[in-house]
Structure 1
Amino acid sequence: MFKLRKQLLIGMTALSIAAMGMTAYAQADGANGRQAPTPEQQAKFAEKMAKRQAKWHDDLKITPAQETAWQTFLGKIKPVMPAGAPQQRPDKEEWAKQTAPERMEHQMEFLKRAETRLAERTAAVKEFYAVLTPVQQKVFDEHFKQMAQHRFGHRGFHHGGPEDRP
């Protein structure tokens, strides 16, 4: 009898805590959690990016003859929002008003823009990769491998690639 009562008490406590958490979440400011970065955040990001690029430059041991290709490469892979580009994501009210086909069209447009950006970056990588020595190419490959592991690790894709599968 006491065991059942204890289990009920524990269960009710857990439900109460969960309910409080949900009400606190529901009382949030209503934002979708992704606001535009502040100027301070943009400056901090630019500073981090410059440090990473400097380290990458040093790790690759870019020669003076390769410097122009390096600068061209950095210019081509730099994330840029094209002037007059449509907003990446509609606000909640606009999204709620859209029909399912309209939402799918919006997603397809986004994916097409993403594919175009990826194709441009791939071409830039191939162009720069051709300028590197075999030793530099190995360093470059390792950098991209680590970058992918870092990126996917932070988004919940903790499983390995094909080489890690049985």
Structure 2
Amino acid sequence: MAPSTPAARIFLAYAPRGVGLRCAVAYLASGRDAYGWFTGARNGDLSSAYFVLEQFYSTRETAYIAVHDGDLHSDWLRDEARCQELARMQEAFRREWLFYRSDPDAGKQLQIYADAELAVGLVNIRFERLNRLSKLQPNWTYYSRDFEQGVFKCLAGHWPLDYGGDDEA
């Protein structure tokens, strides 16, 4: 039996009349570090990576380290237990919140989006989850209760996604 993974802290931004999913972030905090996974739009394509914000919860300078999805189990982190925890967290987050246009069962979700006249991209928020997003801004957003703005600001200063630190988050 696989060890349980703590609940991820998450943030999603969705442009219903634009590109669709702008970004999705899930992360965990441990000791001085925040580590997780993000995905989102980049120049009309899709980008995603695992990341570590080393020393984020300390007075030392934070180091941003990221690796593409396929390289999770390379030696970028040198902590296989943390890599396995990241993989479990990402899979649970993806299963609960996201679907890819290429998923075998995406047709039903895509039809619901089309009927609602909402934007879709290569990766999307599950339609039944959209009601959890705040719709007060052009970008609909969702934050888990313990999501930290500082983590978003640090990530947005480094990641390749179009959704940046100047956007509301």
Q: If the length of structure 1 is used for normalisation, what is the TM-score?
A: 0.26
The structure in which a higher percent of residues are strand is 2
The structure in which a higher percent of residues are helix is 1
Q: If the length of structure 2 is used for normalisation, what is the TM-score?
A: 0.26
- Structure with higher RCO (Cα < 8 A, 6+ apart): 1
